[in-house]
Structure 1
Amino acid sequence: MDGVRQSRIVEGDVAAIISYLKGKAELDPMAVVQYSYCTEKQLGYLFWSDGNMQHDYECFGDVLAFDSTYRKSLYNRSLVIFSDTNHRRQTINFGFDGDESMREAIRCEFPNAIHKLCTWHLARNAVVNIKDKEFCAAFKTAVYDIRKEREIWANAYLCEKFCTGIRTTSRCKGINSSLKKFIKFGNCLLELVENLDLVVKDYRNNEFIADYKTLYSNPMMTTGLETLERSVSKLYMKEIFYEVQKQIEGIGALLVLHRDSISGTEKFMFQKHRKSHHVYSVFMDRSCDKYECSCNLWERLGMPCCHIFCVLKELEKEDLPSRLVLRRWCKDAKVANSSS
């Protein structure tokens, strides 16, 4: 049976899928199709990405998520989907791959990248393999909590690393759920790729709908800092603005404990109302308009936190400083990157 399967791969299915992808690439100058053969002309890896995916990667490829747990091809090959979020936190796809040597590839091709494992899978493996409920509960706490003295856990070690808010492969799981609508276990490679095209079109249709809603609707101003809030609303996509708006609203729960100025650097200390153990420090360098907060929200998500907004209020700022605006979350993220 294995011999019949291999002969079908070499003589029929693989030739058909490569021909199909090359045909698409001829119509799309930005498309990328790469593949390899192993011994006896068996298919090694297969990677493809169309022009829209390539452009999205140029704009939003600063963080890359992938999941190789989906197996639905006739030949039981791994399907690896490269994805991330766009400037409105919608899932976008960068490409598809059938190669299994991801960890080594990351080490070789992205030597300076931070490779983060899925915390959900770590916790799940403990629950599946260890039947002690108390231990599993403690293990989950250890995995998900952010405690700086414990560097062996991902969240503690990566609390200052930008990751667009991705902590698990849950977005990949969402893609897998969509795949189930279009892909069956018995699909040959050609059917697999054709159906993946349908999945991509479904995601892009959702993006077009969201674009339309953003274009023809305006978010409501809900805070007392209307001038600052309105200037922020003009910068960000609506979905991101709502997240930033919550940070502005959070100013109301902060108490200013201390303010000091040393050699052009302003230091502010805040405490959360009725939570004396929640104390945060913000440093502002007047010479370059640079802000740093101990909560590290800017480092992790690329968004200013409520503590920084509180500093802006104390300094009577009416606009968000450019140093606090991450282009990938802005309305013109794609436009700006396409011309650079």
Structure 2
Amino acid sequence: MLKAEFESRAGKLREKAEEESDPEQASQLYRRSGSLYRKAAEKTENDEKASALNQLAEQLDREAEKALNRSDHPGQGRSLSYFSSPPDVDFSDVGGMEELKARLRDRVITQLQDTGFREDLGVSPTNGVLLYGPPGTGKTMVSKALAGEIGFHWAEVDTADLVSKYVGESAEQVQDLFREAVRVQPCVIFLDEIDALASPRGSGVKTDSEQQRVNQFLQSLDRIQGDDVLVIAATNLIEEVDSAFRRTGRFDVEIRVGLPDVDARRKILKVHLSGREHRVSGNEIQRLAERTDGFSGSDLEAVVEHAAQEAHIDSIEDDLLQPITYEHLSSAASQLASQDGGDAG
């Protein structure tokens, strides 16, 4: 289903690029089309078909360069200040979080797909998702994987970048972000710690700049309704997000991202061990998953990374590759737990 969707969107973007008179816009459309063809190649099990799609993507990259070379104003409009190509990760790279991924497929991905039924049913794509929960639970990673899953351009924006002490400047930065999003769509904007930008309006006296920024942000959310622009915001403190941001038509999909359970922890550990030399059995991964109750996804990633570093030290000392073992992982988990005042032993 996703492969056909990628190919369909890629073909439409290619047609638009061929008709586009502006060299900069044409170049961006060619590159977006190529990125989608690559995503389609990843999803196909036919090697010959995958090779053909990748070759087509390379051809479109060359067309993008040719379009830029035709520009009368080289150097203008060639780079995007916020957005990058679709990420090279998808949901298969996210350990655990099965319920969260299922909800995102149903409430977001399916509604963004051009299924042929959307128009008849009057369905508008989901434009705003609010993820909330403890820090380190993988909100950024799953958002990036969602963008990769559907082949959308990606922008990870620090809310501090949208804050300025000068009156009017913050609002302009917000406006620039959304203006660019509409231009490069389909795209995903990820905003971490949204509460810093969207704190309750009655929580204290706001400067003119802060009020303008909030108003501009709300207006921008309203204006992208119906566009293929998805804004995912994350917060550890959902009660600190103004209700105006959470109403229907803005961040109207709210999903709690909690600490992983034992099954999710096992899957997360497997994901982070994948691609590394290790001698850790399935039973040992399960045992470690059971020992690490209360660990976040980022904690588990840190455990594997620290274990890999210890194995690297052993390899240097022995002048021979020493794979990661359960002992490395167990030691790393215990050290992290002691730093946090917990107990993984």
Specify if TM > 0.5: no
Query: Which of the two has greater strand per residue?
Result: 1
Structure with larger RCO (C-alpha < 8 A, sep 6+): 2
Q: Decide which structure has the larger Cα Rg and report it.
A: 1
Normalised to the residue count of structure 1, the TM-score between the two structures is: 0.25
Normalised to the residue count of structure 2, the TM-score between the two structures is: 0.24
